[in-house]
């Protein structure tokens, strides 16, 4: 091998920091994937968070970060205090406080890891973690592969993997596919590896038999295709096409939600109308059960707590239809309203507005955001609430906030100042 060839091969080897960061994120993904909030160790999370904070003090200037984002920090602090108080008022128990602490610890852990790792190492770690979950799930299913013949419409061959739950497995696989497409859209040193891992996640998602997962997968693929198309010369035509597709998708979703009989007929043709009917009823009864004060200020995590008034009332309304009991509304947007209320959602929207306006004023481009992943999460949120009620969802949100706040801030400065732009084992610097 020539010196040039050797140098080119060596250049494809990730840095040690990149491998460590991606490996840590993958391990966190594996650890939290099968766990519910009451199964998550507060001690383990606290020790991990403290160790990361101590080791990253030189990387993160917390005081400087808060000073630059004072308005956003104050608004989000109000949201945190309000959510904590409403949770404890609705369910004044030690278990409620523990769940609140788990939520905050997982979010903070994700933010710190994402901020220290950088965007590319974060995406790489999530992809490796998601693929590892899928592969271990397939390994555990070796004894029952004869029962996993591809018959997704019957629901008898659904892949349930490590967690034993179709929804949790499709969520992890969906994130893996979306993250893989994100990395490929930003260019990568080893595209064959990324494509292979993405395909494994995609196959796993399809085999879960989840219609929500399939629709979300289609949305992710469409977004990735449009993103590539937008890089062409016909930008004006591309923007028009994107607007038409988004408008058509929103119109179709509204039509199916408003005309439930049509939606049930469409899903009945696919063999799983009962799951959609259960979701419609869950949405309806959850919204009916929200108290007036809770509608404005939210219920925190107390609404769906075991033995809570809200959960029991929704369960009683679902019982005559032979559905339930449920521990969430199966709709991220409804559960966001239940947790934070109108006031809380308004504050979060304001914080997001100020954060994005500050980044735009600093010269950052919103093109750095993970649009494929965001669209996939937005679509799956129409039929699931995993982001709201699973530690894995909280970790993902924290990772995205930490990593992309760094990425956007880095893009706002002079070129070459982003210390994280080349820290990915699967996605190198120079990507957009």
DSSP 321-337: GT----SS-S-HHHHHH
In a domain, 118, yes or no: yes
The first and second tokens of residue 416, run together, are: 């070459």
In a domain, 67, yes or no: no
pLDDT tens per residue across all 432 residues of the chain: 455 555 454 444 456 677 888 999 999 999 999 999 888 888 888 888 888 777 766 556 666 666 777 888 899 999 999 999 999 998 898 889 999 999 999 999 999 899 888 888 999 999 999 999 999 998 888 776 655 555 555 555 568 889 988 889 999 999 999 999 999 988 777 889 999 999 999 999 988 888 889 989 998 998 888 877 776 545 555 556 666 766 776 676 666 666 666 666 666 665 555 677 888 889 989 999 998 999 999 999 999 988 889 999 999 999 998 887 888 899 999 999 999 999 999 999 999 888 878 766 666 666 677 888 998 999 999 889 999 999 999 999 999 998 887 665 554 444 444 344 333 455 443 333
The full DSSP string for 207-218 is: HTT-HHHHHHHH
In a domain, 396, yes or no: yes
Distance CA 352, CA 368 (A): 16
Q: In the chain, how many domains are there?
A: 1
Instruction: Evaluate whether 29 touches 392 at the Cβ level (below 8 Å).
Output: yes
In a domain, 247, yes or no: yes
Domain housing 84:
15-56+72-411
In a domain, 8, yes or no: no
In a domain, 171, yes or no: yes
In a domain, 9, yes or no: no
Distances from the Cα of 337 to the Cαs of 80, 201, 333, in angstroms?
A: 15, 31, 6
In a domain, 397, yes or no: yes
Instruction: Evaluate whether 264 touches 276 at the Cβ level (below 8 Å).
Output: yes
Q: Which residues contact 390 (CB under 8 A, 6 or more apart)?
A: 32, 36, 37, 168, 171
Place of tokens 């278990």: 95
Its pTM stands at 0.85
Place of tokens 């004006």: 236
């Amino acid at each position: 091998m020539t010196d040039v060839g050797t140098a080119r091969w060596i250049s494809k080897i990730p840095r040690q920091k990149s491998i460590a960061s991606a490996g840590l994120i993958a391990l966190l993904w594996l650890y939290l994937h099968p766990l519910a909030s009451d199964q998550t160790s507060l001690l383990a999370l606290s020790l991990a968070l403290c160790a990361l904070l101590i080791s990253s003090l030189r990387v993160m200037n917390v005081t400087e970060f808060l000073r630059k984002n004072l308005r956003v920090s104050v608004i989000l602090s109000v949201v945190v205090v309000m959510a904590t108080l409403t949770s404890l008022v609705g369910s004044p128990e030690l278990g409620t406080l523990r769940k609140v602490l788990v939520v905050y610890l997982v979010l903070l852990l994700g933010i710190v890891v994402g901020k220290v790792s950088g965007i590319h190492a974060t995406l790489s770690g999530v992809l490796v973690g998601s693929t590892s979950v899928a592969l271990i799930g397939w390994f555990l299913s070796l004894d029952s592969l004869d029962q996993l013949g591809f018959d997704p419409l019957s629901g008898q061959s659904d892949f349930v993997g490590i967690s034993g739950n179709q929804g949790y497995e499709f969520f992890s696989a969906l994130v893996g596919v979306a993250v893989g497409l994100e990395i490929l859209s930003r260019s990568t040193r080893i595209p064959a590896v990324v494509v292979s891992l993405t395909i494994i996640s995609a196959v796993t998602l399809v085999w879960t038999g989840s219609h929500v997962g399939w629709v979300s997968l289609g949305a992710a693929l469409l977004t990735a295709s449009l993103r590539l198309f937008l890089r062409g010369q016909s930008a004006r035509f591309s923007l028009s096409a994107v607007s038409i597709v988004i408008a058509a998708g929103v119109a179709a979703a509204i039509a199916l939600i408003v005309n439930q009989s049509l939606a049930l007929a469409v899903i009945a043709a696919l063999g799983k109308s009962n799951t959609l009917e259960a979701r419609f009823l869950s949405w309806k009864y959850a919204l009916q059960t929200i108290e007036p004060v809770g509608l404005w200020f939210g219920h925190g995590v107390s609404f769906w707590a075991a033995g809570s008034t809200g959960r029991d009332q929704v369960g009683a309304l679902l019982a005559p239809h032979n559905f339930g009991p449920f521990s969430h509304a199966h709709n991220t947007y409804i559960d966001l309203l239940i947790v934070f209320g109108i006031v809380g959602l308004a504050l979060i929207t304001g914080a997001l507005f100020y954060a994005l306006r500050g980044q735009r004023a600093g010269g950052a481009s919103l093109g750095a955001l993970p649009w494929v992943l965001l669209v996939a999460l937005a679509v799956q949120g129409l039929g699931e609430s995993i982001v709201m009620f699973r530690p894995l969802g909280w970790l993902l949100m924290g990772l995205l906030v930490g990593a992309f706040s760094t990425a956007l801030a880095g893009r706002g400065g002079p070129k070459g100042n982003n210390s994280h732009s080349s820290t990915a084992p699967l996605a190198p610097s120079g990507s957009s």
